[in-house]
Structure 1
């Protein structure tokens, strides 16, 4: 039995070492629609996620969202597991309970629900200047 525990522990260690380490979530992220960008950074104790809306395209429907430019969209989202943060977000004037999950170094998913019934998921990609 001790030998089996050692083998399981060794396999778990190898599996953990083989998992890709995610890059920092800090940076500018663009929605899949390519019309909105958010700047994200680690904040608080270094494990929380903060962010703000930093850019909107020139499309007409974005005119109504200009008051939210350079305003916080996420304040100290709590890390629920490595690469995932949960909490309250302000998205284009709506208060959402949501999750931001980092899927890879350059891809995140942002999901949120307003009023517990209106839910939406967005794909975000790291914006290269």
Structure 2
């Protein structure tokens, strides 16, 4: 009986350790870009939720000079230039590889696509490294932002009813 228990315990500890390691690298959440101009929501996507996708959910300056919502005006595809930037997918199908999620990221300010690697540095920091043609490279650190969407979905705490004055 003891010989069966030890391998079973070892398997359970190993799988728990793997799950914790995977969660430590999980990039999901809402992230404020290094320059503070946008918040990007990264969620699991793809087959079995094994990939990562990112969407613009907030802009510091959501309106253009004409008072209209900012659009994807620099997109090389003229048909996509009227898309609002809020809601715009920037990353789709990033795959886990070597402790990071790798794929491509779209930069709406330039209308260009870059190879990207994102990795969780800590609970509050996400490292973003991107390159175009493996020559023009740069990196940023995004910080964890409050997830307004999760907060809005939570029911508000009920306030106690005001006490009625005592009858004399």
TM-score, length-normalised on structure 1? 0.72
Matched residue SS, 1:25:
coil
**Structure 2: runs of 5 or more not aligned:** 1-9, 73-84, 149-168
Structure 2 matches for 1:2-17, cutoff 5 A? none
Match of 1:108 in 2: 126
Distance 2:136 2:59 in 1: 23
Q: Counterparts of 2:124 and 2:58 in 1: how far apart (Å)?
A: 18
Pair 1:94–1:41, CA change in 2 (3 A): same
Contact 2:46–2:93 at 8 Å: present in 1 too? Answer: yes
Q: Distance in 1 between matches of 2:130 and 2:41?
A: 18
Partner of residue 50 from structure 1, selected from 27, 32, 53: 53
Aligned-residue RMSD, C-alpha = 3.1
Equivalence for 2:164: none
Give the equivalent residue in structure 2 for 1:67.
71
Number of aligned residue pairs: give it.
Answer: 113
TM-score by length of 2: 0.57
Please state which structure has a larger fraction of its residues in strand. 1
Mapped partners of 1:86, 1:125: distance in 2: 19
Cα distance, 1:27 vs structure 2: 1.9
Counterpart of 2:135 (choices 102, 108, 117) is 117
Contact 2:90 2:106 in 1 (8 A): yes
**Cα deviation, residue 78, structure 1:** 0.7
Q: Distance in 1 between matches of 2:112 and 2:40?
A: 16
Query: Which residue of 2 is the match for residue 4 of structure 1?
Result: none
Name stretches of at least 5 consecutive residues in structure 1 with no aligned partner: 1-9
Q: CA deviation at 1:101?
A: 0.7
